[in-house]
Structures are given as C-alpha cells and as structure tokens.
C-alpha cells in the first residue's frame, strides 16, 4: 500500500477510535438512548409479526411510569444475573492461581526455548495462540520473548515479535483449550438468543471444534507469513540490542512442572472416568454428554484445572509457601477485572433495556425480512459479517464490549434467518481476531509499540501495521476458506452447536 494512503487510513482510524468514549461510558449512553428511543417509537404505529409465535410485537415505552419503575427495581438484578459476569469471575479466579504461581509463564517459556531451530517460528506462533487460554498473558510475556529468542539465534527480533503478536492477537479465536473469553462470549450470546427463544442456552464450548481445527491452520499460516513475507522485508538486524542468554528452567521450576504434571494426570483421569463410561458420573440423564455436568459445568472445570495445576506447581517450585499466597493470587486476578466489572454493569443495563423495549426484536424481524429478500445465501452473508466486524474492530478494540453491542441486534436477526447463535458467535470471533493486530484501539497496542521501539527507535503505529497487515490478509483468507468448508459440510462448530436454528 502506498505510504501516503496508508498514513491517511491510519489517521482516520486513530481519529475515529480516539473520538469514541470509554466502552463503559458508551454502554451508559446506549442504555439512555434505548430508553429515549422506546418513548419516541411508542408514539407511532410500529410493529412486527413474530415469525415463530405469530404474536404482534410493539415497542414498550420505558419512559412511562411502569417503565421507569421497572428500571429502578431491576437495576441490581440486571447486573447480578448478567450471564457473562459470574462465568468470567469464576474462570479468572482459577487463572489467577495458575498465573501467580508462575506455572503459565514457565510452560510458555519451556515450549519456545526447547523447540528445534527449524521449528522455532512455528512453536512461537503456536505457543502464542495457546497463551489465550490464560487471558492476555501472551501480550506481556510471549511478544517480548519472541524478539529475545529470534535475536539470540541471529534473526531479526522484530520478526520474532511479529510472529508472537500474530499468534496472541490475530489468533485470538483459535485454541486447543477453552479460555476465559469462551464463557464470556457465550454468556452474551445466550442473553441475545433469549430475545427470540427465552429457553435457549449457549454452551461455553460452543465454538470448540472450529477453534481446535483453526489452531493448526493459523499457526502454519502465521509461520509462513513470518518466513516468506516479514523476515525478507525486515532484512538483517543492525540495531544496538545484543542477544540475551535465554534462561533455562531452574531446579525449582522443573520440580514445579513435575508436580503439576502429576496433578494434571490425576485430574484428567478423574474427568475421563466421569465422561467415557456410558453412565459416568459426569454424564447427564440417560448417559447424555451434550447436556451433561461436564459440558454445562465447563467454567467450573476451567477454574478447578487452573487451580489444581497452579497450586501443584507453586508447591513444587516453592512459589507458594502457604494458603495465603494462593488467595493473594486469586485476589490479584480480581484486581485486574475492576474496569471489566464497571463495564459489565452498564452493558447489563443496555442489554436488559434492549430486550424489554422489543426494539431489538423488531429490528431483528425487519432486518431478517430485508436480508431474506436479497437472497444472499449463507456464505456471502457470513463473509459480509466477518468484514463488518473486522472494520468495527479498528475503532473499538474490546472483543466483549463489541459483542455486547452487536449480539442483541445480530443474533436475533440471524436466528430468524435460520442460523444458530453459536455459528454467529463463531463468525464474529473470526472478524474480531483478524484485525486485532492492525487496530490501534486494541488495548495492548501501545504496549506493542513500546516493545517495537526497543529494537527500532523510529517505530510507530505505521511500522506495526505495515508489519502486521500480511498476517491480517492471510488469516482472513484462510479463516474464510475454513468457514466455507465448514458450512458446505454442515459440521457443528462445537458440542451441541449446529449451524442452523430450527426455530
């Protein structure tokens, strides 16, 4: 891309993003506007016919006496019953134990330092993708570590950093394991789906099959882009930074990993014995696994697994001296969620008002009728949605904040078109991931700039976006191909998560 046009494009993105208020403020504004809009729409003869029940849907006025009373009476329960809140808090308690013990950092360091040189790039990208299980630890650990490792083996450090950043951020919707983002997005999807179907449940593992397969493709593509595009473009590193000696695992760290391995083996055996037998203790009624305690309690399993591995490692590595250390680790994880809880409060009010007023339902019905008349077909429709989300991601970086806004509008609409909430969530995640690495509004973008400047004093936003654009293009291309194949073959995107909503 011509530098002049690239600079102009970046200026538009930066100005647009900076013009947006804080996401929490944005939700407060949206909630207020929904209340005003409900009063305005109630003055007109606006209605829609529910295609499933045949019921006439009309706007509900929240500016009325009854509406204002409902707002005041249910403000607390809107917040406390908001599906993503509890799931994220519980999952993060376990992740906090594993992170504060040093278990996560040690495992990631072991993966990238023990890899053969010819597989180094692949291992960095692959490890970066896996780091998403532990929320955003990859940004602060693997991105700078990628540069250090590349420099140590005589390669350009920015290429190693780009490879790690591509895996952590561009590969955010791929993984072999479930992480904290899965129950968070599933909770938002469930709230939105219940606008159409009050009994609808979205499993936190809803996109697991698609994510699992995507992990290998994204890791391979990220490796190819690094080797064939990024490294040749960067050339030979001639900066001032000198290679650092990569610290090997200490005796305590090795013992900690051994303890964690043994604890993990016992936990895995417990889970397998509960799931594999036809009437295992983690199966549901009549041996059902799709609605079993195992899948329905996946958030609890994430918490337990992270806690068991973290405590076992902490005891072995001597990073945990007593139970107070464990509790402090959990507390530290909660400290990082302060602003998330504030955001959730306002998001919960917005989603509740959107549901109460029927605005979302009317919008969904009318939009679904319009899109149906275009007769686009599932593949063009999903690609268009990916592009829409990818563009919005340039101006609003938070995956959960965007989905809290988009889900109440788009999930009901797509459900009325016959597509499942799980498929729409899956498609959203692709669009959200591919432009993360070129979005100045991504929360860690400033940190990435600082990392780049260590090796290139002149590096700025333009430097990073120019380096990462090839990843965005090829990740988008490969993920679209995978999704098209998935749609053509009719595969479910996760357990009990088909592509279509029966209605």
- Condensed to tens digits (0 to 9), the pLDDT of residues 334-378 reads 886 777 788 789 888 887 887 888 887 777 677 666 766 777 788
pLDDT band at 11 (very low <50, low <70, confident <90, very high): low
CA pair distance 116, 120, nearest whole angstrom: 6
Residue 449 has pLDDT above 90, yes or no: no
Which region among 101-115, 212-226, 476-490 has the lowest average model confidence (pLDDT)? 101-115
Q: Quick one: which of 139, 157, 146, 50 has its CA closest to 99?
A: 139
pLDDT on residue 14: 47
CA pair distance 29, 33, nearest whole angstrom: 6
Residue 443 has pLDDT above 50, yes or no: yes
Q: Is 236 exposed, middle or buried (0-12, 13-18, 19+ CB in 10 A)?
A: exposed
| pLDDT tens digits, one per residue of 223-279 | 999 999 889 888 888 877 776 566 778 899 999 999 999 999 999 999 999 888 888
Contacts of 194 by beta carbon, 8 Å cutoff, 6+ apart: 200, 355
State mean pLDDT over 11-33. 70
Residue 113 has pLDDT above 90, yes or no: no
pLDDT band at 294 (very low <50, low <70, confident <90, very high): confident
Which region among 73-77, 146-150, 171-175, 294-298 has the lowest average model confidence (pLDDT)? 294-298
Is 462 or 25 the better-scoring residue by pLDDT?
25
Residue 196 has pLDDT above 80, yes or no: yes
pLDDT on residue 164: 92
Q: Quick one: which of 365, 322, 294, 316 has its CA closest to 56?
A: 365
pLDDT on residue 395: 67
Q: Is 211 exposed, middle or buried (0-12, 13-18, 19+ CB in 10 A)?
A: buried
State mean pLDDT over 160-177. 88
Q: Which of 48-57, 168-177, 445-454, 491-500 has the highest mean pLDDT?
A: 491-500
Q: Which of 47-61, 304-318, 432-446 has the highest mean pLDDT?
A: 304-318
pLDDT on residue 458: 77
Q: What percent of the chain has pLDDT over 90?
A: 30
Token pair 């996760």 is found at 494
CA pair distance 6, 461, nearest whole angstrom: 11
Residue 389 has pLDDT above 90, yes or no: no
Residue 136 has pLDDT above 70, yes or no: no
| pLDDT tens digits, one per residue of 456-492 | 877 777 778 888 888 999 999 999 999 999 999 999 9
Q: Please give the C-alpha separations between residue 38 and each of 21, 25, 358, 362, 400, in angstroms, as whole numbers.
A: 23, 20, 9, 12, 25
Residue 93 has pLDDT above 80, yes or no: yes
Q: Is 102 exposed, middle or buried (0-12, 13-18, 19+ CB in 10 A)?
A: buried
Residue 94 has pLDDT above 80, yes or no: yes
Long-range contacts of 478-481 (CB under 8 A, 24+ apart): 478/217, 478/218, 478/221, 479/214, 479/217, 479/218, 479/386, 479/430, 479/433, 479/434, 480/383, 480/386, 480/430
Is 338 or 220 the better-scoring residue by pLDDT?
220
State mean pLDDT over 65-76. 92
Q: What percent of the chain has pLDDT over 70?
A: 86
pLDDT on residue 405: 76
CA pair distance 260, 268, nearest whole angstrom: 12
CA pair distance 59, 362, nearest whole angstrom: 8
The answer to whether 221 touches 478, Cβ cutoff 8 Å, is yes
Per the rule left: phi > 0, alpha: psi between -120 and 50, beta: everything else, 407 is alpha
CA pair distance 59, 11, nearest whole angstrom: 40
Average confidence score pLDDT of the chain: 83
Tokens linked to 467: 């380096």
CA pair distance 419, 408, nearest whole angstrom: 15
């Amino acid at each position: 891309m011509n530098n002049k046009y690239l600079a102009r494009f970046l200026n538009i993105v930066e100005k647009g993003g900076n013009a947006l208020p804080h996401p929490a403020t944005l939700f407060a504004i949206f909630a207020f506007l929904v209340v005003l809009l409900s009063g305005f729409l109630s003055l007109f003869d606006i209605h829609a016919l529910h295609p499933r029940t045949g019921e006439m849907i009309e706007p509900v006025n929240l500016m009325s006496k009854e509406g204002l009373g409902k707002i005041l009476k249910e403000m607390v329960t809107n917040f406390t019953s908001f599906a993503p809140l509890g799931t994220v808090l519980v999952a993060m308690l376990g992740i906090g134990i594993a992170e504060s013990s040093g278990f996560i950092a040690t495992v990631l360091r072991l993966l990238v330092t023990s890899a053969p040189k010819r597989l180094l790039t692949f291992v960095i990208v692959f490890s970066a993708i896996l780091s998403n299980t532990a929320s955003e630890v990859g940004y602060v650990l693997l991105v700078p570590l990628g540069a250090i490792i590349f420099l140590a083996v005589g390669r350009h450090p920015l290429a190693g950093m780009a490879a790690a950043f591509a895996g952590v951020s561009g590969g955010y919707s791929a993984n072999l394991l479930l992480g904290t983002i899965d129950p968070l997005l599933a909770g938002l999807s469930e709230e939105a789906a219940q606008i159409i179907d009050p009994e609808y449940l979205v499993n936190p593992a809803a996109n697991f099959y698609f994510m699992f397969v995507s992990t290998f493709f994204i890791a391979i593509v990220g490796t190819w882009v690094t080797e064939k595009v990024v490294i040749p473009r960067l050339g030979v590193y001639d900066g001032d930074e000198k290679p650092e000696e990569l610290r090997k695992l200490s005796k305590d760290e090795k013992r900690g990993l051994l303890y964690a391995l043994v604890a993990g083996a016992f936990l895995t055996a417990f889970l397998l014995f509960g799931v594999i037998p036809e009437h295992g203790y983690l199966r549901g009624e009549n041996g059902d696994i799709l609605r079993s305690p195992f899948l329905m309690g996946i958030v609890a399993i994430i918490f337990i697994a992270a806690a068991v591995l973290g405590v076992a490692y902490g005891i072995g590595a001597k990073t945990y001296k007593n139970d107070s250390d464990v509790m402090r680790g959990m507390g530290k994880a909660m400290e990082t969620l302060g602003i998330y809880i504030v955001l959730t409060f306002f998001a919960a009010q917005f989603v509740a008002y959107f549901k109460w007023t029927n605005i979302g339902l009317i919008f969904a019905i009318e939009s679904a009728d319009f899109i149906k008349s275009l007769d686009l077909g599932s593949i063009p429709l999903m690609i268009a949605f990916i592009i829409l989300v990818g563009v919005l991601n340039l101006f609003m970086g938070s995956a959960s904040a965007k989905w809290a806004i988009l889900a109440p509008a788009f999930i009901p609409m797509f459900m009325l078109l016959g597509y499942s909430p799980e498929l729409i969530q899956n498609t959203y995640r692709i669009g959200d991931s591919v432009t993360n690495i070129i979005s100045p509004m991504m929360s860690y973008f400033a940190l990435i700039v600082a990392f780049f400047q260590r090796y290139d004093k002149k590096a700025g936003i333009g430097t990073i976006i120019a380096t990462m654009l090839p990843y965005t293009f090829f990740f988008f291309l490969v993920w679209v191909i995978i999704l098209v194949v998935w749609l053509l073959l009719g595969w479910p995107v996760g357990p009990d998560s088909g592509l279509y909503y029966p209605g």
